């Protein structure tokens, strides 16, 4: 579309906001954009509507149809209200939980959402202050609610906010409810259709009573309480990176028995501006810099961090040279998987019905560990709504003992149906205590897992292609991979191809094709080679990029061989990259 035509369209759309039932503060912001010499902000704010997708809303805050504001949040809440009233029409009282994180405007959006739900006759349990995302999931289940929302943009930059919706099992919404709710939200065409006038009689503040129940349930997942008692002086450094973890994670660690928890005070300050970091994401090494400096100063045993809504956890430990090193998301899942299975077996608690879950792009080493110990492992799509869907499918039939994904998320128990940094920090601290009880560091424990089962190394690569032509190029790349699949990758023959768009897999050795048992299709391709390499390719659903997930495997004879094997794996990953042209 020509720039002049686009500008005419957004200008006309902006004027409908000046003429409509919007508040004066919003109209003033729209007038400023219309009057500005540079019309970029106007175009970005109005060129489309902020879409309520399967993950809810996420966008930059500000006035406009493509921004997070009280009207886009209001439309989402009104649409969800309409759907809940239709879906649960037979209940005498529909109820929801509302939580929020530390971000600018999160409390405001939460309170406005409470007003809208209550105005629609829906009972609201509103947290009295910011809380972790997993606690919202827990509260929905504990209070017997039909839905819940949290205002959060996870680890996005400070300009963003978001809106995540949950169903009555405490899991993020999937089909058929997701598309039905989207349709209801899209039907809200004007602020006049949003019931902003709340009913205070239907809004109940909750807080400490849910915190206490949540922390008690976390204690139930622990497998080595005696190891914690013997290592209660374990030196833990923790940072919430200005987010919601500041309240419950240090408290949780102390309540389970750790007496030497040091926090990064500068980052215990709750702030949606995240003043001490460029990105509040524990996946980013720089986000842990201050915590690692503190750890060096006190000679700590482990560093732990949570993202702004405390669902993701990142850790750092000392290597065999005494240097602090980050543990990536795949390694964290491997540590959790090994520990849970090992301790359940040692305690004679491992059952035939036990199972774990991982996403398809997460390390295959988890499968090796599970298979060798007779534990069923399910694969699912990226995102904890899919892990929760597996749990829901197995409810009452099998026993969930843990699941996670490579992007720094783990769900240690089914009483929360989303990734949970509070429970994960508690369990990881216990692993550190257990390892120390056995004369090991976390780093040495990870090496020993590689020795016992197999060494694996993973790397994610994102190729960015912006704009309309970029999107077309990404689409064509996926077409090319499907039509001309590689026969070899870095010199190793491809033996298995999985295509989640067609839900078919092909064994290249036998020529046999079989179905993939997944609840929906997804634009993901996977290649497995003779030497154990796995390559996953998928376009991002939210950003202009195509993602490659590379995993290579090897044997690790001893700890002394680790550096050489790791270097060899790095070379192998680079060879795979070159082979794929990325």
Is the separation of the CB atoms in 386 and 518 below 8 Å? no
Question: Could you confirm whether 45 is annotated as catalytic?
Answer: no
516: Cβ contacts below 8 Å, ≥ 6 apart: 498, 499, 500, 503, 504, 505
Among 546, 543, 471, CA closest to 157: 543
CA–CA dist 293, 325 (Å, integer):
12
Return the closest-CA partner of residue 460 out of 573, 367, 379.
Answer: 573
- Which among 106, 118, 147, 154 is annotated as catalytic? 154
Q: What is the dihedral of CA 228, 229, 231, 237, to 10 degrees?
A: 60
Query: Interior CA angle at 140 toward 67 and 137, to 5°?
Result: 65
Query: What is residue 68's DSSP assignment?
Result: B
Q: Give the burial string for 452-469 (b: 16+ CB within 10 Å, else e).
A: ebbbbbbbbbebebeeee
* Spatial separation of the C-alpha atoms in residues 281 and 155, rounded to whole Å: 5
State the Cα–Cα distance between residues 222 and 396, nearest whole angstrom.
Answer: 22
User: Are 145 and 125 within 8 A, CB to CB?
Assistant: yes
How many angstroms separate the CA atoms of 554 and 201, rounded? Answer: 62
Distance CA 391, CA 53 (A): 23
Q: Looking at the DSSP assignment, which residues form a beta bridge with residue 53?
A: 56
User: What residues contact residue 6 under an 8 Å CB cut-off, 6+ apart?
Assistant: 43, 47
CA distances from 125 to 70, 177, 372, 494 (A): 20, 22, 45, 53
547 backbone φψ class: left, alpha, beta (φ>0; ψ -120 to 50): beta
Question: Residue 475: exposed, middle, or buried by beta-carbon count in 10 A (0-12, 13-18, 19+)?
Answer: middle
- Measured CA to CA, the distance from residue 486 to residue 497 in angstroms comes to 10
Active site residues: 154
């Amino acid at each position: 579309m020509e720039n002049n035509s686009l500008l005419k369209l957004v200008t006309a759309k902006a004027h409908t906001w000046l003429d409509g039932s919007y508040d004066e503060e919003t109209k003033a912001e729209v007038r400023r954009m219309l009057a500005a010499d540079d019309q970029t902000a106007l175009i970005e704010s109005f060129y489309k509507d902020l879409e309520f997708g399967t993950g809810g809303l996420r966008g930059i805050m500000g006035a406009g149809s493509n921004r997070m504001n009280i009207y886009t949040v209001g439309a989402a809440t009104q649409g969800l209200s309409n759907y809940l009233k239709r879906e649960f029409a037979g209940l005498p009282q529909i109820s929801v939980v509302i939580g929020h994180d530390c971000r600018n405007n999160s409390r405001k959006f939460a309170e406005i959402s409470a007003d809208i739900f209550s105005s629609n006759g829906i009972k609201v349990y509103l947290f009295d202050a910011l809380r972790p995302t997993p606690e919202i999931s827990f509260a929905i289940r504990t209070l017997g609610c039909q839905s819940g929302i949290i205002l959060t943009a996870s680890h996005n930059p400070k300009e963003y906010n978001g809106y995540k919706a949950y169903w009555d099992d405490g899991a993020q919404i999937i089909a058929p409810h997701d598309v039905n709710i989207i349709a209801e939200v899209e039907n809200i065409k004007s602020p006049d259709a949003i019931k902003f006038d709340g009913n205070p009689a239907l809004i109940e503040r909750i807080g400490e009573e849910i915190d206490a129940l949540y922390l008690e349930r976390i204690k139930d997942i622990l497998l080595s309480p005696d190891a914690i008692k013997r290592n209660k002086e374990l030196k833990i450094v923790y940072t919430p990176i200005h987010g919601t973890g500041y309240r419950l994670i240090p408290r949780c660690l102390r309540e389970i028995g750790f007496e030497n928890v040091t926090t990064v005070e500068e980052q215990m300050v709750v702030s949606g501006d995240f003043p001490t970091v460029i990105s509040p994401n524990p996946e980013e090494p720089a986000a842990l810099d201050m915590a690692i400096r503190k750890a060096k100063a006190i000679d700590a045993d482990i560093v732990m961090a949570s993202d702004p809504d405390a669902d993701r956890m990142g850790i750092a430990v000392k290597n065999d040279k005494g240097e602090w090193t980050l543990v990536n998301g795949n390694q964290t899942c491997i540590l959790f998987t090994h520990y849970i299975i090992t301790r359940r077996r040692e305690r004679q608690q491992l059952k035939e019905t036990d199972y774990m879950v991982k996403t398809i792009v997460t390390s295959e080493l988890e499968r090796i560990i599970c298979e060798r110990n007779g534990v069923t492992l399910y694969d699912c799509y990226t995102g904890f709504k899919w892990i929760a869907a597996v749990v829901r499918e197995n409810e009452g039939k099998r026993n969930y003992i843990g699941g996670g994904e490579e992007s720094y998320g783990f769900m240690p128990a089914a009483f929360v149906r989303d990734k949970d940094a509070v429970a994960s920090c508690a369990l990881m601290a216990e692993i550190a205590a257990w390892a120390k009880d056995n004369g090991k560091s976390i780093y040495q424990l990870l090496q020993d897992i590689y020795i016992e089962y197999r060494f694996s190394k993973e790397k994610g690569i994102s190729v960015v292609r912006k704009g309309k032509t970029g999107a077309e190029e990404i689409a064509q790349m996926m077409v090319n991979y499907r039509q001309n699949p590689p026969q070899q990758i870095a010199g190793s023959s491809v033996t298995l191809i999985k295509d989640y768009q067609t839900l078919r897999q092909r064994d290249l050795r036998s020529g046999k094709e079989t179905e993939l048992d997944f609840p929906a299709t997804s634009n993901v391709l996977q290649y497995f080679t003779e030497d154990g390499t796995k390559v996953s390719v998928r376009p991002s659903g939210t950003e202009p990029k195509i993602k490659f997930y590379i995993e290579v495997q090897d044997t690790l004879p001893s700890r002394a061989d680790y550096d050489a094997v790791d270097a060899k794996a790095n070379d192998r990953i680079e060879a795979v990259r070159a082979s794929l042209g990325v």
